A and B are shown apart, each in its own frame.
Chain A
Amino acid sequence: MNPFTYSRARDPNQAVADISSKPQTKFLGGGTNLIDLMKMGVEMPAQLIDINRLPLAGVEELPDGKGVRIGALARNSDVAAHDLIKSRYPVLSEAFLSGASPQLRNMATVGGNLLQRTRCYYFYDPAFPQCNKRKPGSGCGALDGFNRIHAILGQSEQCIAVNPSDMCVAMAALDAIVHVRGPKGEHEIKFADFHRLPGNTPERETNLGHDELIIASAL
């Protein structure tokens, strides 16, 4: 077991301040992916900052017909069942319900889903020595391995893993905007700019900075 410390964030600004000088620290939301990866020895954070008590779980209509804002801590199941989402963005509701199981959807957050990591077998199991995403420079086990579930578009010589999120496909189709808070305040990232192709740095999956916290997604 890898020891780690645990603390609970009181407000978003404090959470951002707490993580900014600590590269081995991660935010903990629903935990449905991060905890799995910690058990497997893929993620080994020295510290977890639990953000579950931050007031970011709301789903609300924006004024003047500007759409809907989904808080980063809204649970997948709550968003899927929300009247605003079901009536205006059924593709998003259906995407949520096509993923995982009810127990997981009850825990998994929208912000965490944006950061869900690939289900490539070679990434997920450290018994396989090669994975450029898990261990940059070690090679890609999937390239000449069992790769039936891997990419046919957007892959590189370094990595052929795919994003596993059903939610992200719907968010991309809806041109969602991701709201992020960092040390310099809040800014927006267009959904198409949020995730990165593997290229030569498959270990970097998004353009979110280490010291940035996802606040919400807007549709």
Chain B
Amino acid sequence: MTVIDAGRILNPLAGRNQIEGAVVMGIGMALLEHTSYDPQSGAPINSNLADYMMAVNADVPPIDVHFVDFPDTEINELGARGIGEIGLAGIAAAITAAVHHATGVRVRELPIKIEHLLTSSVLS
């Protein structure tokens, strides 16, 4: 579940869709997405969509989007704000918090990988 304060929501259907997309990208940010570089040449080594992993449909659970829907008249008389990327902000943090809850390890690097847990002093 994700709760968003984006002022007055003018188009709930499109707004929810925007936030759902951001949550999917947040899952990728937390668990998958990373450009790796060859340590010798500095060249990106996963510069294609087969090796650069992104969240796809199979990685995504049902997403429950809620808007606070409180008009923000400080911004404009309409009370509406842009909701471009705000949906992404808390997702990776929520997932790392869930990993901490499950394992006791605070991962402070994204994406979270198994070696972060295997090399943690908490688990050794």
Chain A residues near B (Cβ < 8 Å): 101, 119, 121-122, 124-125, 127-128, 141, 144-146, 148
Contact = CB atoms under 8 A, between A and B. Distances in A.
B51 A127 contact: no
A144 B40 CA distance: 8
A144 B39 contact: yes
Given A121-B46, A127-B43, A145 B51 contact: no
B41 A128 contact: yes
A145 B38 contact: yes
A145 B50 contact: no
A190 B51 CA distance: 31
11 contacts: A101-B56, A119-B51, A121-B38, A121-B51, A122-B38, A125-B47, A128-B43, A141-B40, A146-B36, A146-B39, A148-B36
Interface string B52-68: 00001000000000000
B45 interface: yes
A146 B38 CA distance: 6
Given A121-B45, A121-B46, A146-B45, A128 B38 contact: yes
Contacts of B36: 146, 148
A125 B46 CA distance: 10
Contacts of B45: 121-122, 125, 145-146
B112 to A, nearest CB: 14
A89 to B, nearest CB: 23
A145 B39 CA distance: 6
Given A121-B45, A121-B46, A146-B45, A141 B51 contact: no
Nearest to B38: A145
B53 to A, nearest CB: 11
A146 B37 contact: yes
Contacts of A146: 36-39, 45
Contacts of A124: 51
